[in-house]
Amino acid sequence: LTLPDDTERRLKDKWARLDQKPMQPWHSRKRNYTDQYQIRLSNTALCIQSEKDIKTKGSKLILMPCLRIKSQVCY
């Protein structure tokens, strides 16, 4: 909406604010990962895994048998 007291610079600022991408939650943001890792305890078949859902920040880590599941893979 253009107002009579809008200057050209002010209009450009308005349009720039409209063109911003919407904020995405940290757990569903699109990322460009190049590699993935699994952290394994030496000389065992145990890997670390998040105790709760992978989307839960601050969840504790536990040792579980190594599998290629999302809760054990680090990016």
For 17-75, the pLDDT digits (tens) are: 776 777 778 778 777 777 888 999 999 999 999 888 777 788 899 999 998 888 888 77
User: Does residue 46 sit within a domain?
Assistant: yes
Cα 38 to its chain centre, rounded Å, is 18
72, two tokens: 């054990």
**pTM for the full predicted model:** 0.52
User: Does residue 25 sit within a domain?
Assistant: no
User: Does residue 62 sit within a domain?
Assistant: yes
> 51 has which bridge partners?
none
User: Does residue 12 sit within a domain?
Assistant: no
User: Does residue 60 sit within a domain?
Assistant: yes
Residue 42 domain boundaries: 33-74
Supply the pLDDT for residue 19: 66
Supply the pLDDT for residue 3: 67
User: Does residue 58 sit within a domain?
Assistant: yes
Pairing of strands 61-65, 46-50: antiparallel
Q: What share of the chain is helix, strand, coil (3-state, %, to 5)?
A: 20, 20, 60
